[in-house]
Amino acid sequence: MSDERPDLPPGTAPEADLAPTPVATTLPGLVPGTGPDGRPRPDAPLVAVTGVTGYVGGRLVPELLAAGYRVRALARHPERLRGRPWYDQVEAVRADASDPEQIRAALDGADVAYYLIHSLGTGRSFEQRDRHTALVFGQAAREAGVGRIVYLGGLHPEGEELSPHLASRTEVGEILLASGVPTTVLRAAVILGSGSASFEMMRYLTERLPAMTVPKWVSNRIQPVAIRDVLRYLVGSAAMPADVSRAFDIGGPEVLTYRDMMQRYARIAGLPPRVIVPVPVLSPRLSSLWVSLVTPVPGGLARPLVESLVHEVVCDEHDVAAYVPDPPEGLIGFDRAVRLALARVRGASVATRWSSAAAPGAPSDPLPSDPDWAGGSLYVDERRVRVDASPAALWRVVEAVGGERGWYSWSLAWRVRGLLDRVVGGPGLRRGRRDPARLLVDDAVDFWRVEEIRPGRLLRLRAEMRLPGLAWLELRVEPDDDAAADDDGAGPWDPEQWRRPPVVFAQRALFHPHGLAGQLYWWAVYPFHGVVFGGMQRNVARAAERAERARRDRGGAEPGVTRDGA
């Protein structure tokens, strides 16, 4: 990847480590190291990682592989890991961490187990879920003979009444420490990194509000830490001696207030200084509603983040350095962490985001393969149109839907639907996309999530907005010959046809209603399908045809996706 970043904010120096070397390079003697082929050796220690679809877990896996560990990725739906660049290098195992039998089998033979699970923003009863899952995991790790558990928790002050989520994360750490398995608990405050919820909250508040009234907690002291340093501590913790079982505070080299962080972010991003006026009347609940209004972070996630800022969170010790020494160049400071995060955001190279995890309460049921399956009614709105564009041109438009590009139809209707969804506790449209042009299975796309993607052929989105039922949207690119494609969209392409018009754009909206409310919902919105989905189909087709004409005018070859998605 080029180090040039012409799209960085004014005054921002290019960062040579936008694609940094693995953290293991600064941990000599602590990690196994890879074999001659650059992959973990067959006899390397095996680590089991939970939370691999989340923000931290998704970044930790490639770092562990680069350090020479064999990795077993644990997920309730491991098929959703397909498309991750490290998928073919790990052992993907189906396991629910709250199921004793499943997690015991998944941890069998593991030397180290990473516990990166929490119920942040998942609504009521999260304490019970966190407590139960931690107890099950700790017992399963002990029975499976795991040598060490590593857990990433939250930094908190001693002797204060903690917010519910911070108290729950503290309790989880205590449960794991009491499991009988040597445990490392890493306690971090605000994590600075492209796509982290804390960073996104700060970024949007600062960029969107040149002047703001804020709660008095903006004057509390915070010790933020860069995601790269967090990953380094996580990787290094796998090699701690067996007689070490305790919690460690981890933080960056600076202690700041939230006000300082916003002002320094503004300077780095090339913005004028912000006018910040603290007021004593904004409770955490009101603050979280305000954050939810201004930023993409939903209220259910914003509230625990805000509540944790009510406390001063500063490291009391740096004992972790005795086991995971600081890198030769020192820990990453706030300014450099922000520059790196902004470079990734503006260079569209964000590896994982806070929205990587499914929205609380969102359905996870896969699309039934048989429209007449035993689950009951399945309403279908299906449309097909012939497009005077190459399959590659059409696919580029299809794969880029949502986010800043929108949904190619009645934009007001989409915005209203997104607003209504946020009002009732759904994600709305503000999650956007991780990457503006490329999608992976399990990526969030506004209030949808990618359930299936076959590059060049099929994009299936599962709805995560609040609905009285389950919904999917399928977008297919098919040859202009019905006999050339089978029902699942995997039929053969003629290589020449892949590069030349015409092509068929097939679109299906599917809805499985729950009860009478679901039936009423379908028939209430059905009259608008022609405008919303019909308009979307027409405008996607027109966008592909415009791109095709532009390519012809340039006389260029067809770039982009090939038959195999390369």
What is the reported pLDDT for 556? 60
**Nearest to 343, CA basis, from 485, 513, 471, 195:** 195
Query: In angstroms, what CA-CA distances link 118 with 121, 175, 197, 493?
Result: 9, 13, 14, 44
CB 141 within 8 A of CB 113: yes
CB 50 within 8 A of CB 97: yes
Token pair belonging to 499: 């590069």
Dist. CA 500–CA 388, nearest whole Å: 9
Q: What share of the chain is helix, strand, coil (3-state, %, to 5)?
A: 40, 20, 45
Dist. CA 480–CA 497, nearest whole Å: 9
Dist. CA 58–CA 51, nearest whole Å: 8
Dist. CA 221–CA 256, nearest whole Å: 5
Dist. CA 152–CA 134, nearest whole Å: 13
Token pair belonging to 558: 């067809």
Tell me the pLDDT of the chain (566 aa) as tens digits.
333 333 333 344 444 444 568 999 999 889 999 999 989 999 999 999 999 988 899 899 999 999 999 999 999 888 878 878 899 999 999 999 889 999 999 999 999 999 998 765 455 677 888 899 999 999 999 999 999 999 999 888 887 777 787 888 899 999 999 999 999 999 998 899 887 778 888 888 888 888 887 777 788 899 999 999 999 999 999 999 999 999 999 999 999 998 899 999 999 988 999 898 877 766 666 666 667 677 667 666 666 677 777 778 899 999 999 999 999 899 999 999 999 888 877 655 566 655 555 444 444 445 544 434 444 568 889 999 999 998 989 999 999 999 888 899 888 888 888 888 877 777 888 788 888 888 888 888 988 988 888 888 899 998 988 888 889 999 999 887 643 444 444 444 555 555 667 899 999 998 888 878 888 888 888 888 888 888 999 999 999 999 888 887 776 655 444 333 33
Dist. CA 251–CA 397, nearest whole Å: 42
Q: Looking up tokens 């087709």, which residue turns up?
A: 541
**Nearest to 24, CA basis, from 5, 11, 40, 43:** 40
**DSSP secondary structure of 226-274:** EHHHHHHHHHHHTT--TT--EEEE---S--EEHHHHHHHHHHHTTPPPP
Hey, what amino acid is at 482?
D
Residue 313 is classified by DSSP as B
Radius of gyration of the chain (CA): 24
CB 297 within 8 A of CB 431: no
CB 93 within 8 A of CB 103: no
Token pair belonging to 541: 């087709």
**Nearest to 129, CA basis, from 171, 92, 94:** 171
What is the reported pLDDT for 165? 79
Is the sign of the CA dihedral 255, 256, 261, 263 positive or negative? negative
Q: Looking up tokens 């605000």, which residue turns up?
A: 190
Let me know if 28 is exposed, middle or buried by CB neighbors in 10 A (0-12, 13-18, 19+): exposed
Let me know if 320 is exposed, middle or buried by CB neighbors in 10 A (0-12, 13-18, 19+): buried
**Long-range contacts of the stretch 316-323 (C-beta < 8 A, 24+):** 316/158, 316/249, 317/248, 317/249, 318/249, 319/248, 319/249, 320/186, 320/233, 320/248, 320/249, 320/250, 323/236, 323/237, 323/239, 323/240, 323/241, 323/244
Beta bridge partners of 512: 470
The three-state secondary structure class of 367 is coil
Dist. CA 310–CA 303, nearest whole Å: 11
Say what angle helices 164-177 and 126-144 make with each other, to 10 degrees.
20
Sequence-distant (6+) residues with CB within 8 A of 349 are: 1, 18, 19, 194, 435
CB 157 within 8 A of CB 312: yes
**Nearest to 53, CA basis, from 474, 549, 444:** 444
